[in-house]
Amino acid sequence: MYIKHRVQNFWKYFILNREELEHALRENDHHEITHLLQDLNEHLKTICACGMEVEMSDTGFYEMTFTPQGNKNAQFATALLKKDAPQALSEDWIINAVRPPLSERAMHTILRIKDKEVTGADFHVYYTINEISKTLDIKVYCEALKDVEEKRRESMVAFMLELFIGELEFEARISSIEIIDTPDEEAENFCLLPNLYEDICDIIIDQDWMEYHDPLSIYMAYKLDEKPVSETLRKDMKLIVTTNPQLQEELLSDSYEMCKEFKDCGGEYGYFYYEKLYEDEKEALVRQQLEKEINELLYEMSIARTMGGAVGIYYSYIDVAVFDKDAFAIALAKINEKMNFKVYYQPFLK
């Protein structure tokens, strides 16, 4: 079953359990909430490798948060889950495709490290603004982490950062994290973790950085060092732009693990290609505009979503995550009816 239809089935099942879950949230019945969530998360496993959390906000809304934790396969799935959520939920439920900043959970999270209770306010953040990459290099100090094993404290810091600044800004703005054992008295910029999101927002405005609406809108560019080796598809590439760098790194090393995992969840990664029309600079603009138009057409119908592409010596490419292969094949034929040049499609995983 394709991922589009798995999403539809998930929401049908959720609606069946909605009343019980809402009652449990109103009554703050942790046992029943845990039981219902375990069941829902089992169904979610057929769509993506992530879980979901629920809570009741202080404003009286029910809130559902999917937790991809940077996994691009999961981000495509949770974005589709949010997009195709039943209209009946919109009046009472807030649905987050990724973890938002400063949630109720963030404000109430307490880590127990040995004999100490640690909150966000115990994490000191020192940061340097990288004006070229438009990101922050940060150092984090928390006294309770001093004697904690390295991997565990890295995991704790990443978890707390995502809780307080949200998955979007964590992915878009943080370029490096260093955990330090003593406060950095000479740092130019300092804040407590609960204030970091506000600082980031101020920097975005002051520095006129691009704003993003979801992690799948963050484009990265790669100029390939090696000269293209042949006229074979994808072997002639000179410049890659992508919202899925994890996948590109695998493909460049001839690895297909993400493709296999996405296929197991009912999706498919692939690419449109067509013979190059212009010189590189103009071709890049044409490819970009065509990608935008294709995405507007296909994503509206939950058929596929574009994720960048590449310009080569002989071909141009538009990469896509496909959610419904049958509808996609029909859509491709319709697209070619309106084009004055032929567009082809190839999955990455043969």
Could you tell me the pLDDT band of residue 283, with boundaries at 50, 70 and 90? confident
Segment 146-166, tens digit of pLDDT? 888 999 999 999 999 999 999
Can you spell out the DSSP letters for 266-299? T-EEEEEEEE--S-HHHHHHHHHHHHHHHHHHHH
pTM of the complete model: 0.92
| Closest listed residue to residue 300, CA positions, set 90, 87, 80 | 80
Mean pLDDT calculated for residue range 253-259: 93
Q: What is the pLDDT of residue 235?
A: 86
Cα dihedral 285, 78, 53, 123 in deg (nearest 10): -20
Q: How far apart are CA 347 and CA 350, in angstroms?
A: 6
Q: How many CB atoms lie within 10 A of CB 285?
A: 11
Q: Percentage of the chain with pLDDT > 70?
A: 98
> What sign does the dihedral 329-333-335-339 (CA atoms) show?
positive
Q: Which two tokens stand for residue 68?
A: 């991809």
Q: Percentage of the chain with pLDDT > 90?
A: 75
Phi, psi values for residue 147, rounded to 5° = -100, 15
Which residues have a Cβ under 8 Å from the Cβ of 50 and sit 6 or more positions away? Answer: 44, 66, 67, 68, 69, 71, 74, 77, 78
Alpha helix positions (H), the chain? 3-26, 30-44, 72-83, 104-108, 150-173, 193-206, 245-252, 257-264, 280-300, 325-338
Residue 227 has pLDDT above 90, yes or no: no
Our measurement of the distance from residue 187's CA atom to the centroid of its chain's CA atoms, rounded to an integer in Å, reads: 31
Q: How many CB atoms lie within 10 A of CB 35?
A: 14
Give the chain's mean pLDDT. Answer: 92
Residue 226 has pLDDT above 80, yes or no: no
Choose the weakest-confidence range: 6-20, 43-57, 194-208: 43-57
